[in-house]
Structure 1
Amino acid sequence: MTMAILPPPLQPGDRLGVAFPSGVLRHQEAFWQGVACWQAQGYEVLVDEAAFDGWGYLAGSDAQRRDRLRHLLQDTTIKAILCGRGGFGSTRLLEAWQWLPCAPKWLIGFSDITALLWSYAAQGVAGVHGPVLTTLAAEPLWSQTRLFNCVQRQPLPPLSGTAWGGGCVQGRLLVGNLTVATHLLGTPDCPDFSNVILALEDVGEAPYRIDRMLTQWRRSGVLKQVKGIALGRFSRCDDAATQPNFRVLEVLGDRLGDLGIPIVSDLPFGHEGVNAALPVGVLAELDGDRGQLRVLAS
Structure 2
Amino acid sequence: MTEIPLPPCQLPPPLQPGDLLQVVTPSGAIRELEVFQKGIEIWRSRGYNVQLSDTWDARDGYLAGSDSSRRHQLASAWHNPDYRGILCTRGGYGSARLLENWTWESQHPKWLIGFSDITNLLWSLYDSGICGIHGPVLTTIAAEPEWSINRLFDSVEGRNLAPLTGVGWGGGKVSGRLLPANLTVATHLLGTPIQPPLDGTILALEDVTEAPYRIDRMLTQWRMSGAFKGVCGIALGRFSRCEAPSGIASWTIEEVLRDRLADLGIPIISDLPFGHDGANAALPVGQLVELDGDKGILSWL
TM-score (norm 2): 0.97
- Is 1:202 the counterpart of 2:218? The answer is no
TM superposition outliers: structure 1 runs of 4+ over 4 Å:
none
- Counterpart for residue 31 of structure 1: 36
Quick one: which of 117, 120, 123 aligns to 1:115?
120
Aligned pairs (5 A) from 1:169-188: 169-188=174-193
The CA deviation at 1:8 is: 0.7
Query: Kindly, what percent of the aligned residue pairs are identical?
Result: 60
The root-mean-square deviation of aligned C-alpha atoms, in Å, is: 1.0
In structure 2, C-alpha distance between the alignment counterparts of 1:91 and 1:48, rounded to whole Å: 20
In structure 2, C-alpha distance between the alignment counterparts of 1:101 and 1:79, rounded to whole Å: 12
- Counterpart for residue 211 of structure 1: 216
In structure 1, C-alpha distance between the alignment counterparts of 2:247 and 2:225, rounded to whole Å: 29
The CA deviation at 1:240 is: 5.0
Give the AA of the match of 2:227. Answer: V
Q: Which runs of 5+ in 1 are unaligned?
A: none
2:26 aligned counterpart, secondary structure = coil
Query: Is the CA contact (8 Å cut-off) linking 2:55 and 2:73 kept in structure 1?
Result: no
Quick one: which of 12, 15, 21 aligns to 1:7?
12
- Counterpart for residue 285 of structure 1: 290
The CA deviation at 1:103 is: 1.0
CA-to-aligned-CA distance 1:8-37 (integer Å, 9 cap, x gap): 111111111001110110111010000000
Give the AA of the match of 2:123. Answer: W
- Counterpart for residue 150 of structure 2: 145
Query: Is the CA contact (8 Å cut-off) linking 1:171 and 1:227 kept in structure 2?
Result: yes
- Is 1:228 the counterpart of 2:233? The answer is yes
The CA deviation at 1:96 is: 2.6
Aligned pairs (5 A) from 1:1-298: 2-239=7-244, 241-296=246-301
TM-score (norm 1): 0.97
Give the AA of the match of 1:11. Answer: Q
Query: Is the CA contact (8 Å cut-off) linking 2:115 and 2:134 kept in structure 1?
Result: yes
Query: Is the CA contact (8 Å cut-off) linking 1:278 and 1:295 kept in structure 2?
Result: no
2:266 aligned counterpart, secondary structure = coil
In structure 2, C-alpha distance between the alignment counterparts of 1:252 and 1:285, rounded to whole Å: 21
In structure 1, C-alpha distance between the alignment counterparts of 2:126 and 2:166, rounded to whole Å: 25
1:137 aligned counterpart, secondary structure = helix
Aligned length: 296
In structure 2, C-alpha distance between the alignment counterparts of 1:101 and 1:131, rounded to whole Å: 25
In structure 2, C-alpha distance between the alignment counterparts of 1:88 and 1:242, rounded to whole Å: 30
Q: Which runs of 5+ in 2 are unaligned?
A: 1-5
Query: Is the CA contact (8 Å cut-off) linking 1:158 and 1:295 kept in structure 2?
Result: yes
Query: Is the CA contact (8 Å cut-off) linking 2:168 and 2:296 kept in structure 1?
Result: yes
